[in-house]
Chains A and B, each alone.
Chain A
């Protein structure tokens, strides 16, 4: 622990341990098991081996790769698959470095065990800008690893899998495995290791004509010491990385055989439907279950204090019986709160903060002075609503608690965390819980919470037999951990040449990432960004791209307003702000070029541009919008992206398409509103989803700007979408949208 503490206390720290970093730090994965754990006493492979190898004929070369007698190379993936293609991309990275035969590579999700944790994500979250000298790498890694183990968490999110786990762990593991195989073969063949080549899971020695499969040397290789610094390939030697390889998980997703959390099938299991108190924090004051008791199939009716559950022979029976239960709830402070009242509360906190209050997030120069002296002053206030995740697979979990043991089945973004939550709920030790993870029917941040796990375990503990708990869509919508609603106020100053000289922002809440409200990439000499925390009883949670989802809209709307005030084009104005940042400018220019920015559009059509770097990737988008009808029609989105180096281009493009639809759904329709403390929306009829008939055309181009520093893919496509669309609406109509969603506005 001392290394981590030293690092955190050092003056050059940028320690940013936030709520999500707290989750993220647990993550798994990393070169650490090669560089970190390897320097620690004891051989971790001995302990991990029984969890992964299924017989005498398989050898675990390190924590991330095993080789079978059939010469099948299996990549052990310490992240969960929720559609982002992580199984495939990470396996690509490992297999490329190892020179494994892609046609036979298999994929295994790492067990939900604390031993599968390491430095990579923890360090990135803690010290995002810290360059660790290579000589200290093992020490730092070891320190953070211990920290991560203490937390006992594991997480997939933050668009980190490829850029952290993949770059630091999977590639290192693959390269190490390859070197160990070569060393074993060199010893057996009695030839220099440097003369041995590898390709398609084969080892060859050209001079002697020897050629054997990896499997032949797997046992001997496993006895080799781990190379301290395996040599990674340079990009010109990549064979798999950078190729749009087909995803491994897709075939089973077209024939119905893919197993999701909701598909758990445990012999003898029964089904539970649940209803939690509509106002978070309330408890069940009374419950009249007289009708439910007489309903067919009903086994038990449980008042769990914070929720009611019906257990029955079938889920539908349980839900039907639950619908008849008349429940009264305790009064809470949240009961009087409506959405308008909440925004009024935000206003009052922002007003109280005035010009100097609140918490300063970043400050440079003298904003007050620059603003006073500015030739043109621009002010604006923006608002966004709460948003639910609405994963297609409603929240669920299956649990069985008996004889001092607990088994849990679900699809979770943080399996180790889920296992710990189950242990706590069952009153058992971590070691007594077996957690079975499955595919996630959408994650988007929602499946990083533990509420569903705890509820199912509590029900199963009460019944004693296995129970599959399924939330109705209504429950899923009303009991989410929401993207926060927020208000953000700006003041900007322009000099006589229309150059931005001051930028001041104060907004409600800060969740994660910490840099989301900041604009370090824009050249503005004086800037100051503050926040105020406003209490609400609603639960917040990470929602695809987290705080960037609102700050992307706030920042890029205000930049557009400043451009307009300066009498400049939005693209040209951003070019000035990015002067000197070549990587950034390339992406902005590419998006503009793709869209034909200077070309005329039909009447009532408009283009809008937005630029948001997030999660290590640089993204610019141009939206083309048709405002000739009563509702905005988004016709096309152009995306230019620099994620350092894209491991699987087709998978990356799919993530861009996906983030655009997720963002556009929120931009057009997304709003969770509150009445008397409770969420008003319940299902897809009042929490509307984008459908195929509204799908814009999407065109993506990628620049590989830095193969050493990879960016994320799952989240960064989202933040520029909303402002690109609203800036396009402004271009087409002159109407500036300062509050989302667009369904609140009339364009007739």
Chain B
């Protein structure tokens, strides 16, 4: 039996301690927002926070989370359902396309802004380079992080020539 806290709730799960956090969250706790992408910590789709630190849940065994606090995409909005600044910026910039990688992107961006409320482009690149987006929304991700940080304001561009 492994005791952990997930999105503020205490849970006990009966699993092999070597099981990656990803599969415990998805299958045992039935929270599907965290995604499986590669299984080897190369794509970031599975990113969750462990005591506030972003980790690749596909390659981190649940034993690592014993007695710690896991935060997933389902746990970053306010309790009243108000979206976090990062989530709201993601909507403002219309970041997601297929959306599959976005839970991981948002978790990485959230961790970045917690540690560094005003990141430079290079710092954004460094923090987000572990998250792959096959729909290629990197430009929008960068812009959304700046908007969430208050560095930039949402803009509308004239695009019809």
How many chain A residues sit at the interface, stated as a range, is 35 or more
- Contact digits for A229-263, partner B, Cβ 8 Å, 1 yes 0 no: 00000000000000010110111111111111011
Closest chain B residue to A468, Cβ basis: B27
Interface contact A702-B160, CB-CB below 8 Å: yes
B140 contacts partner chain A, Cβ-Cβ < 8 Å: yes
Interface contact A685-B159, CB-CB below 8 Å: no
Within 8 A of A (CB), among B105-143: 106, 124-126, 128-129, 131-142
- Contact digits for A305-341, partner B, Cβ 8 Å, 1 yes 0 no: 0000000001111010000000000000000000000
Report how far A262 CA is from B45 CA in the complex, Å. Answer: 13
Closest chain B residue to A697, Cβ basis: B139
Interface centre among A317, A665, A684, A698 (most CB of B within 10 A): A684
Interface contact A658-B103, CB-CB below 8 Å: no
Report how far A474 CA is from B136 CA in the complex, Å. Answer: 21
Residues of B within 8 A of A653 (CB): 159
Interface contact B99-A693, CB-CB below 8 Å: no
Report how far A450 CA is from B27 CA in the complex, Å. Answer: 26
A121 contacts partner chain B, Cβ-Cβ < 8 Å: no
Interface contact B91-A256, CB-CB below 8 Å: no
Residues of A within 8 A of B77 (CB): 255
Interface contact B27-A657, CB-CB below 8 Å: no
Residues of B within 8 A of A698 (CB): 139
Q: Which of B72, B91, B138, B159 lies in contact with A700, CB distance below 8 A?
A: B159
Report how far A259 CA is from B98 CA in the complex, Å. Answer: 11
B112 to nearest A CB, angstroms? 12
Interface contact A256-B159, CB-CB below 8 Å: no
- Contact digits for A387-426, partner B, Cβ 8 Å, 1 yes 0 no: 0001111100000000000000000000000000000000
Interface contact A649-B138, CB-CB below 8 Å: no
Interface contact A649-B35, CB-CB below 8 Å: no
Within 8 A of B (CB), among A664-705: 665, 683-685, 689-693, 695, 697-698, 700-704
Q: Which of B91, B106, B126, B142 lies in contact with A246, CB distance below 8 A?
A: B91
Report how far A684 CA is from B35 CA in the complex, Å. Answer: 16
Interface contact B43-A392, CB-CB below 8 Å: yes
A445 to nearest B CB, angstroms? 12
Q: Which of A83, A263, A640 lies in contact with B135, CB distance below 8 A?
A: A83
Residues of A within 8 A of B36 (CB): 262, 315, 394, 470
Q: Which of A439, A650, A700 lies in contact with B99, CB distance below 8 A?
A: A439
Closest chain B residue to A394, Cβ basis: B36
Question: Given A262-B35, A683-B42, A691-B129: A256 and B73 within 8 A (CB)?
Answer: yes
Question: Given A255-B87, A661-B136, A683-B38: A84 and B23 within 8 A (CB)?
Answer: no
Report how far A170 CA is from B136 CA in the complex, Å. Answer: 29
Closest chain A residue to B128, Cβ basis: A692
Q: Which of A392, A590, A649 lies in contact with B101, CB distance below 8 A?
A: A392
Q: Which of B37, B94, B139, B141 lies in contact with A650, CB distance below 8 A?
A: B94
Residues of B within 8 A of A684 (CB): 38, 40, 42-43, 132
A511 contacts partner chain B, Cβ-Cβ < 8 Å: no
B79 contacts partner chain A, Cβ-Cβ < 8 Å: no
Interface contact B42-A440, CB-CB below 8 Å: no
Question: Given A442-B135, A684-B38: A255 and B83 within 8 A (CB)?
Answer: yes
A662 contacts partner chain B, Cβ-Cβ < 8 Å: yes
Residues of A within 8 A of B142 (CB): 692, 695
Interface contact B97-A658, CB-CB below 8 Å: yes
Report how far A691 CA is from B124 CA in the complex, Å. Answer: 12
Q: Which of B16, B33, B136, B137 lies in contact with A256, CB distance below 8 A?
A: B33
Report how far A439 CA is from B96 CA in the complex, Å. Answer: 12
Interface contact A254-B96, CB-CB below 8 Å: yes
Within 8 A of A (CB), among B35-85: 35-40, 42-43, 45, 72-74, 77, 83
Interface contact B74-A685, CB-CB below 8 Å: no
A725 contacts partner chain B, Cβ-Cβ < 8 Å: no
A636 to nearest B CB, angstroms? 11
Report how far A252 CA is from B100 CA in the complex, Å. Answer: 11
Report how far A665 CA is from B135 CA in the complex, Å. Answer: 11
Q: Which of A316, A473, A662 lies in contact with B136, CB distance below 8 A?
A: A662
Interface contact B136-A83, CB-CB below 8 Å: no
Report how far A546 CA is from B120 CA in the complex, Å. Answer: 38
Interface contact A692-B45, CB-CB below 8 Å: no
Residues of B within 8 A of A700 (CB): 159
Within 8 A of B (CB), among A279-323: 296-297, 314-317, 319
Residues of B within 8 A of A250 (CB): 90-91, 94-96, 99
B19 contacts partner chain A, Cβ-Cβ < 8 Å: yes
Interface contact A691-B32, CB-CB below 8 Å: no
A271 contacts partner chain B, Cβ-Cβ < 8 Å: yes
Question: Given A249-B99, A254-B87: A265 and B30 within 8 A (CB)?
Answer: yes
Interface contact B133-A256, CB-CB below 8 Å: no
B135 to nearest A CB, angstroms? 5
Interface contact A84-B134, CB-CB below 8 Å: no
Report how far A443 CA is from B160 CA in the complex, Å. Answer: 28
Closest chain B residue to A661, Cβ basis: B136
Residues of B within 8 A of A578 (CB): none
Residues of B within 8 A of A692 (CB): 124-125, 128-129, 131, 133, 138, 141-142
Interface contact B98-A83, CB-CB below 8 Å: yes
The 14 sampled A-B contact pairs (Cβ below 8 Å) are: A82-B98, A250-B99, A255-B87, A256-B33, A271-B27, A314-B15, A315-B27, A391-B100, A441-B35, A661-B138, A683-B42, A685-B42, A695-B136, A701-B161
Residues of B within 8 A of A (CB): 15-16, 19-20, 23, 27-28, 30-40, 42-43, 45, 72-74, 77, 83, 87, 90-91, 94-103, 106, 124-126, 128-129, 131-142, 156, 159-161
Question: Which A-B residue pairs are the 5 nearest by beta carbons?
Answer: A256-B33, A661-B136, A83-B97, A441-B100, A253-B99
Given contacts A246-B94, A255-B74, A657-B137, 14 further A-B contacts (CB under 8 A): A249-B96, A250-B94, A250-B96, A256-B32, A262-B32, A317-B16, A392-B37, A392-B45, A392-B135, A393-B100, A472-B39, A684-B132, A691-B138, A702-B160
